Amino acid sequence: MKRIFIFDLDGTVIDSKHRQGDSLDDWFRLNTRENIFKDVPLSLGRHIRNLHLKGHKVLICTSRHISKDDLDYLEQVLLIPPNIKIIARPSGCESAPFSLKKKQLSYLQNFKSFRDKIKFLIDDNEDNLKSFEELGSNCFGLFPDQAEDYISRIVLNER
């Protein structure tokens, strides 16, 4: 394993704005299989599989709940390999996204096998990125455009 890349979903690898609505109730109402499959893959999503195949550890970490329909979409549309770990909001959890993600990803600094690896959280939310960087000096937050550039220019050209 070379580096660890953690990808957010909404606004980072998929465009799901058509499901957001104005409230949490709207999100649940619009969160149907039909609407999930109307999500638009963003260019960064294609790197998930490529990084995985190049030997990097790749995770998906989202602050929303994940349904079977979401998993089907990730596998069928984004071609996410089935052995990529997906970390999502647990049922009943109401923590702020930055707090939730920091807690859920802290094991990457606590477990010896991951502690010394360089880690990148790719997310469109600045609070999530800042919170992740608090985990350690080898934890870096990247906005999607920064990650696209870094992955395209450097990581995928490695031998």
> How much is the pLDDT for 157?
74
Class of the CATH domain delimited by 4-157: alpha beta
**Hey, where are the domains in the chain?**
4-157
> How much is the pLDDT for 156?
65
CB contact set of 106 (below 8 Å; sequence gap of 6+): 135
The distance in angstroms from the start CA to the end CA of the chain is 14
pLDDT, tens only, 70-112: 999 999 999 999 899 999 999 999 899 999 999 999 999 989 8
- 158 phi, psi to nearest 5 deg: -70, 150
User: CB neighbours (10 Å) of residue 45?
Assistant: 20
Per-residue DSSP letters for 39-89? -EE-GGGHHHHHHHHTT-EEEEE-SS---HHHHHHHHHTS---TTSEEE-P
CA distance 45 to 50: 10
pLDDT, tens only, 118-151: 999 999 999 999 999 999 999 999 999 999 999 9
CA distance 122 to 71: 19
